[in-house]
Amino acid sequence: MTTLDTGQKLAPRASFFNDPVIRGIIYQVVVAVLLIAFISWIIGNTAANLAAQNKTTGFDFLWKTAGFDISFSLLPWSRASYYWEAFLVGITNTLLVAIIGIVLATMLGFTIGIARLSSNFIVSSLATVYIEVIRNVPLLLQLFFWYFAVLKAMPAVRESITLPFDAFINQRGIMVPRPTPDQEFTWVMVAIVVCLVAAIAIGVWATRIRTRTGRYPASIVLAGKFGDACVTLLVGFTALAILLNAVYPVANGTVIAAIVAAAIAAASVTRFAPIARGVMTFAVAFVILNFMIGGMLSWLSPVVTSAGAALIALVMASVVYTNATERPPSDARFPLALLILIVVAIPALIYWVTGATLAFEVPVLERFNFRGGVQLPPEFVALVFGLTIYTAAFIAETVRAGIQSVNRGQTEAAQSLGLKDGDRLRLVIVPQAMRVIIPPLTSQYLNLTKNSSLGAAIGYPELVNVFAGTSLNQTGRAIECIFMVMLVYLTLSLLTSAIMNWYNGRVKLVER
Amino acid sequence: MTDIGFVRSAMTDARPAPRRTSGVGAWLRKNLFATPSDAVLTVLGVIFLLWVVPPLFNFLFGHAVGPNGTVEECRMPEAGACWAYISSEMEFFIYGFYDIPQHWRPNIVFALGALLLVPLMIPKAPFKRVNAVLFLFVYPIVSYILLAGGVFGLTPIPTEKWGGLLVTLIISVVGITLSFPLGIILALGRQSKMPVIKTLCVAFIELIRAVPLITILFMASIMLPLFMPQGMTVDKLLRALVGVTLFTSAYMAEVVRGGLQAIPRGQYEAAASLGLSYWKQMYFIILPQALKHVIPGIVNNAIALFKDTSLVYIVGMKDLLEAVKTKNDTALEWQSANTATTGYIFAAMVFWVFCFGMSRYSMYMERRLNTGYKR
Amino acid sequence: MSQVSETTVDRAIDTSHMKVSKTDVAIDVVNMHKWYGDFHVLRDINLKVMKGERIVIAGPSGSGKSTLIRCINRLEEHQEGQIIVNGTELTADLKRIDEVRREVGMVFQHFNLFPHLTILQNLTLAPIWVRGIPKAEAEATAMHYLERVKIPEQANKYPGQLSGGQQQRVAIARSLCMQPRIMLFDEPTSALDPEMVKEVLEVMINLAEDGMTMICVTHEMGFARQVANRVIFMDQGQIIEQNEPEAFFSNPQHERTKLFLSQILH
């Protein structure tokens, strides 16, 4: 650039409009002016329209009495409540279905996503059919289906269908017993929380010792054996007791069940442990399968049902037996049974010692309606059902993609190092898959929350229904109401993406 | 050490795989009975199928009342799906309240649309450019004239009367074609170096993506009339279109942005070094590559939009789902235990066929595009 | 072909070994066949590898050489014949597969390091969870092998931060940490940039000098000349020719071998 003085024309200063910086400024000013003009035009029109309709603006309406009913609310609500309370009721109702939906959809979605990758043709086909059917049909249609075609088509109150555990279903929704814990029961609740924390702590501690010394601590191994025996005893007794009392009633069924279960439990700490596990698996699987097949294929004769159940249970027992013979020595095994026992047994013990009672107020059919219990309105049930089933299909695809994103070479490398399948999944595959799964999973959670607004279409009083619907219609404050509703969703969304950015930054794989 | 030396004298010919690794038996063993646990899963799966499929089959076909059946048959206690109801209300489900003698007009619109869209979707079909121009610019005008009437001696038919599948298709086709260019502009704006424009685009995109469509439609339905000068009414269909288009354009922008980011820096630099202006760079070099990458994403948006059209009942339009629901609730002459269920199953099947078709098309395009990059 | 350091490895293998007791056989493949669906990939493979022997398998792509060594630690399943590794026959029995895999290390073309773990964690994962070795001990072993592959300073980095050659050396060290008796190499240098091939080959030569039993699928003929006891040439899923490297390269017998060598040696 120093050789400009060779007789060439000196580079002229860029013409005013060709300078990219100035051009950029001009563009931006034009856009800003147009936008401001457009907005002031809208504001002017709105003001004129509102004036013509004799409407006022402002948020003062929030402190006025709402005067309408809300069919379902966790917060205290009456016609005398204020509009700001209606706003809160809307938010809590939205969050309620969102949280329940997220928990259920996650469980269902992970199950189906894993099933989709199963090497078993029937299992993976069933998962594929589920996904392809559900995600290609509008959610609103599915909600209408559950609400109008299924729940609203239930029999009238007087002909309610009885479900297990004293629950009933009819046109007005599902009635379930209401738990009425007494004072002492608080201790049981405390114990559950404490035991859960303790179990996690013990698990972490045991794993740490296992990495440091190569062996699980002796105390844990011993306690683990005890835990194994206890779990075997409890589960085995339950299964056998049902078998000998309900399925094939025999005299003194309970006593026999107790003796046999005790024998199996005792065997489970000796070198006959694989046999004990096999026998127990057979008992549990047979009882469950017998009920399941009998319920699902009621046209089968009981003999065929039992024979089939026995056959499947036998195969399952043989699988468990083989696995048990191949188990690593007990000091190289994670003490899962022990941890489960801690969480279940100690609270149960406290329940028994303190004499706490957890009574249930059972719904009772009276003349025109049920009394007592909790009524889950059909709108709520349909919305939870619809959101769960719909979102699960998307979560399943997310999970499948996440697992498939882990290179096949990772599995091979882990296998060639001799890692067992469980360790391979836990240490190599899952940590990598979760990095891929969690961001889209979060956006599915956000979608579910946004989709809960469709509850408005079937009359579930969530935020849009209560505030952008009823409140807006009654007060006429359209701008304010819609602004407040949008603000809630915007906040949720920004909060989620902030958390996600933090998470992504944390787990990002380090690259060159 | 000649004993390690070995030279093959005769080549071993390929043999068919042993019986246990090929054929039906091997397939069954591999896919259904590979391990004992697999066998258990298979048996449980079969039990599940036996539980679900026969009643479903009986409901849909076995005990169903055919299209020519009567309502009395549908009201029999054992009756399954009431297809007679669907066939008798089919016109309403497709056209809504559109004047019956004028049904030939939407029919022509459907036929023209299919005629233009099918060659557009087949990668090898010729005249893509002409075809696209016809579809994007000529077809909408012709369709509007045909459907709304009022000129050329066609009876005017107000949009309030339009309904059913017709409205579902109009909203999704218009929504997708309008939101696409809007999305591109937003995506480019989001990448722009000008702070004002960038901020505006980011704010718009993030705001729209944060809220549910239902609130946007509420806004279009209630606030759009407020925003307009006094005395000016906004057509209901137009409200739905504005809401749906704005909503989809934000999602479209994010898809396009993904495509723009996937393009290597070198392409931008090469385009700039050719001395092309910004818009020419984008039009000739960047966008063609970026958009090709994101066709699957665009189709996914189209599927989402197609399903979302079911929400336009908020602004008072009777799309397919709303038309079915209306008949379910009001067609007293067809009332039976299974009428509503049949109606919803029918609507679900229609939606499913369209969405599943689109998703398969997207997968097909994805495979086609991928081949160029495989090593 | 890259030039590797000129350390000569003692190639003379005790012939007395060749016919003695079973315990000296590391790997014995007998009449083995494998199909992918209906495609007959491996046909009538017979291969006996002695302890301490170093074998290079060469052949055109698609000749089944990778499949063969992947069968040896059961990453692939064979349908006919026997594969016996350290006296354990590979069958569907998981216990035997685990037993064999613990004794056989494998190095892959694409390294397959675990990207979410540091180099040290990559190296200690299997010793801790498979062998139950205390962490401190596993880390000491890991550092020892990292020093052997000459990258101890990278211990706390992630695989993504390393060059290809470094990653492959880590992968070799990771296998060594399990103290295997046999090492399998599946084209360990073909995914590397030319300047990185040498550093990996040096590590492998070093390993050979220590008497490790090795089977190596590679196109590095210099490496084959320098360390192999035997070179095996495969085509169309079968072993076409095998010989000691000198004879193999200077005097190939089979037409296919000649053709192949003329193509890669120019």
Please list every residue in chain C whose beta carbon sits closer than 8 Å to the beta carbon of residue A415.
Answer: 73, 75, 101
Pair A118, B38: CB distance under 8 Å: no
- Give percent of chain A above pLDDT 70: 96
Tokens 């036996």 locate to B50
Mutate which of B8, B20, B29, B31 to test chain C, going by most C C-beta atoms within 10 A? B8
Identify the H or E element spanning C229: none
At residue C107, the 3 state secondary structure works out as strand
Residue C40, token pair as written in the block? 């007959």
CA distance C170 to A266: 48
Which of B31, B211, B348 is the closest to A120 by Cβ?
A: B31
Which of C75, C114, C133 is the closest to A214 by Cβ?
A: C133
Taking CA A156 as the corner, what is the angle to CA A151 and CA A159, rounded to the nearest 5 degrees? 110
Residues 207-246 of B with CB under 8 A from A: 207, 209-212, 214-215, 218-219, 222-223, 225-230
Please list every residue in chain B whose beta carbon sits closer than 8 Å to the beta carbon of residue A468.
Answer: 215, 218
CA distance B97 to A140: 22
Q: Return the number of other C-beta atoms located less than 10 Å from residue A374's C-beta.
A: 14
CA distance C244 to C264: 18
Taking CA A317 as the corner, what is the angle to CA A311 and CA A319, rounded to the nearest 5 degrees? 110
Range B276-295 average pLDDT: 79
Whether residues C240 and B8 touch (CB distance < 8 A) is answered with yes
Residue C89, token pair as written in the block? 């026959």
Whether residues A120 and B222 touch (CB distance < 8 A) is answered with no
Residue A177: left if φ>0, alpha if ψ -120 to 50, beta else—which one? beta
Indicate the pLDDT class of residue A214, thresholds 50, 70 and 90.
Answer: confident
Whether residues A122 and B42 touch (CB distance < 8 A) is answered with yes
Residue-level length of chain B: 375
Longest dimension (CA), chain A: 119
CA distance A387 to A455: 10
Within 8 A by CB and 6+ apart from C157, the residues are: A510, C118, C119
Instruction: Tell me the HSE value of B140 on the side-chain side, using a 13 A CA sphere.
Output: 13
Q: Using CB atoms, list chains with 3+ pairs below 8 Å to chain C.
A: A, B
CA distance B323 to A325: 63
DSSP letter assigned to residue A359:
E
pLDDT for residue C216 is more than 80: yes
- Give percent of chain A above pLDDT 90: 29
Indicate the pLDDT class of residue B106, thresholds 50, 70 and 90.
Answer: confident
Per-residue model confidence as pLDDT tens digits over A3-44: 444 445 555 555 666 677 787 788 888 888 999 999 998 888
Pair C173, C152: CB distance under 8 Å: no
Tokens 């989620």 locate to A496
Q: How far is CA B306 from the centre of its chain?
A: 5
Most confident of A125-139, A415-429, B105-119: A125-139
- Give percent of chain C above pLDDT 90: 44
Across chain B, what does the average pLDDT equal?
A: 84
Q: Which pLDDT belongs to residue B11?
A: 79
Q: At residue A82, what are phi and psi to the nearest 5 degrees? A: -90, 170
Range A73-78 average pLDDT: 85
pLDDT for residue C55 is more than 70: yes
CA distance B76 to A162: 25
Please list every residue in chain A whose beta carbon sits closer than 8 Å to the beta carbon of residue C108.
Answer: 409, 412-413
Per-residue model confidence as pLDDT tens digits over B321-334: 999 988 888 888 88
For C243, nearest residue in chain B (alpha carbons):
B5
What is the tally of helices (H) and strands (E) in chain C? Answer: 10, 10
Out of A24-38, B185-199, C11-25, least confident range = C11-25
For C101, nearest residue in chain A (alpha carbons):
A418
At residue C48, the 3 state secondary structure works out as strand
Pair A438, A508: CB distance under 8 Å: no
In 3D space, the residue among A496, C231, A460 whose CA is nearest the CA of residue B5 turns out to be C231
Range B203-223 average pLDDT: 89
Does residue B204 sit at the A interface (CB-CB below 8 Å)?
A: no
Residues 22-81 of B with CB under 8 A from A: 30-32, 34-51
Most confident of A282-286, A388-392, A478-482: A388-392
Alpha helices in A170-270 (DSSP H): 185-213, 218-242, 253-267
pLDDT for residue C12 is more than 50: no
Range A305-327 average pLDDT: 86
Identify the H or E element spanning C222: helix C221-227
* Cα distance from N-terminal residue to C-terminal residue, chain B: 44
Range A461-468 average pLDDT: 90
Within 8 A by CB and 6+ apart from B301, the residues are: B176, B179, B248, B251, B252, B255
Residue A89, token pair as written in the block? 């009721």
DSSP letter assigned to residue C36:
E
Most confident of A17-26, A97-106, C234-243: A97-106
Per-residue model confidence as pLDDT tens digits over B3-35: 567 888 777 788 887 776 667 777 787 788 877
Within 8 A by CB and 6+ apart from C168, the residues are: C107, C111, C188, C189, C192, C196, C200
Per-residue model confidence as pLDDT tens digits over C129-170: 988 899 999 999 999 999 999 999 999 999 999 999 999 999
Per-residue model confidence as pLDDT tens digits over C174-212: 999 999 999 999 999 988 888 889 999 999 999 998 889
Q: Using CB atoms, list chains with 3+ pairs below 8 Å to chain B.
A: A, C
Pair A317, A264: CB distance under 8 Å: no
Q: Using CB atoms, list chains with 3+ pairs below 8 Å to chain A.
A: B, C
Range B291-304 average pLDDT: 85
Whether residues B3 and C18 touch (CB distance < 8 A) is answered with yes
Class of residue A80 by CB neighbours under 10 A (exposed 0-12, middle 13-18, buried 19+): exposed
How distant, in Å, are the alpha carbons of B279, C206, C207, C212, C229 from that of C180?
A: 62, 16, 12, 9, 20
Whether residues B340 and A149 touch (CB distance < 8 A) is answered with yes
CA distance B225 to B229: 8
Give ipTM to 2 decimals.
0.89
CA distance B66 to B87: 9
Out of A126-135, A313-322, C179-188, least confident range = A313-322
- Give percent of chain B above pLDDT 90: 16
Does residue C80 sit at the B interface (CB-CB below 8 Å)?
A: yes
pLDDT for residue A491 is more than 70: yes
Ranges assigned E (strand) in A96-199: 161-163, 167-170, 173-176, 178-181
pLDDT for residue B371 is more than 70: no
Please list every residue in chain A whose beta carbon sits closer than 8 Å to the beta carbon of residue B39.
Answer: 315
Whether residues C130 and A419 touch (CB distance < 8 A) is answered with yes
In 3D space, the residue among C187, C164, C183 whose CA is nearest the CA of residue C173 turns out to be C183
Please list every residue in chain B whose beta carbon sits closer than 8 Å to the beta carbon of residue C79.
Answer: 17-18, 20-21
Indicate the pLDDT class of residue A133, thresholds 50, 70 and 90.
Answer: very high
Pairing mode, if any, of strands A370-371 and A178-181?
unpaired
DSSP letter assigned to residue A326:
T
At residue A112, the 3 state secondary structure works out as helix
Tokens 């972490």 locate to A204
For B314, nearest residue in chain A (alpha carbons):
A457
Q: Which pLDDT belongs to residue B3?
A: 59
Q: Check the CA dihedral B297-B302-B305-B306 and report its sign.
A: negative
At residue A217, the 3 state secondary structure works out as coil
Shortest Cα distance, chain C CAs vs residue B11, angstroms:
8
Taking CA B24 as the corner, what is the angle to CA B21 and CA B25, rounded to the nearest 5 degrees? 60
For B27, nearest residue in chain C (alpha carbons):
C37
Range B185-190 average pLDDT: 90
Q: Which pLDDT belongs to residue A453?
A: 93
CA distance B173 to C220: 59
Q: Which pLDDT belongs to residue C113?
A: 93
Q: Which pLDDT belongs to residue C251?
A: 87
Shortest Cα distance, chain A CAs vs residue B148, angstroms:
28
Out of A100-109, A464-473, B282-291, C34-43, least confident range = B282-291
Within 8 A by CB and 6+ apart from B314, the residues are: B214, B217, B218, B221
Whether residues B48 and A296 touch (CB distance < 8 A) is answered with yes
Q: How far is CA C215 from the centre of its chain?
A: 4
Whether residues B37 and A479 touch (CB distance < 8 A) is answered with no
Q: Which pLDDT belongs to residue B247?
A: 93
Q: Which pLDDT belongs to residue C15?
A: 45
Whether residues B218 and A464 touch (CB distance < 8 A) is answered with yes
Residue B22, token pair as written in the block? 């090929």
Residue A254, token pair as written in the block? 């309970």
CA distance B210 to A488: 10
Size of interface B-C (CB pairs under 8 A): 55
Q: Return the number of other C-beta atoms located less than 10 Å from residue B270's C-beta.
A: 13
Residue C111, token pair as written in the block? 């390294």
Class of residue B175 by CB neighbours under 10 A (exposed 0-12, middle 13-18, buried 19+): buried
CA torsion angle C138 C143 C145 C148 (round to 10): -170
Whether residues A212 and C134 touch (CB distance < 8 A) is answered with yes
Out of A187-196, B254-263, C228-237, least confident range = B254-263
Within 8 A by CB and 6+ apart from A370, the residues are: A157, A160, A168, A175, A363, A364
Q: Check the CA dihedral B284-B286-B292-B294 and report its sign.
A: negative
Which of C73, C129, C160 is the closest to A510 by Cβ?
A: C160
- Give percent of chain B above pLDDT 70: 96
Residue A320, token pair as written in the block? 């468990």
Within 8 A by CB and 6+ apart from C67, the residues are: C34, C41, C42, C76, C237
CA distance B247 to B242: 8
Shortest Cα distance, chain C CAs vs residue B34, angstroms:
11
Which of A415, A417, A509 is the closest to C160 by Cβ?
A: A509
- Domain B83-99+158-365: give its CATH architecture: Orthogonal Bundle (1.10)
Across chain A, what does the average pLDDT equal?
A: 86
Q: Which pLDDT belongs to residue A7?
A: 47
Within 8 A by CB and 6+ apart from C112, the residues are: A407, A409, A410, A412, A413, C171
Q: Which pLDDT belongs to residue A153?
A: 83
Range C71-97 average pLDDT: 88
Range B212-229 average pLDDT: 86
Q: Which residues of A204-232 are buried (b: 16+ CB within 10 A; e: fewer)?
A: eebeebbbebbebbeebbebbbebbbbbb
Per-residue model confidence as pLDDT tens digits over A227-286: 888 888 888 888 888 888 887 888 888 888 889 888 888 888 888 888 888 888 888 889
Within 8 A by CB and 6+ apart from A37, the residues are: none
Shortest Cα distance, chain C CAs vs residue B30, angstroms:
11
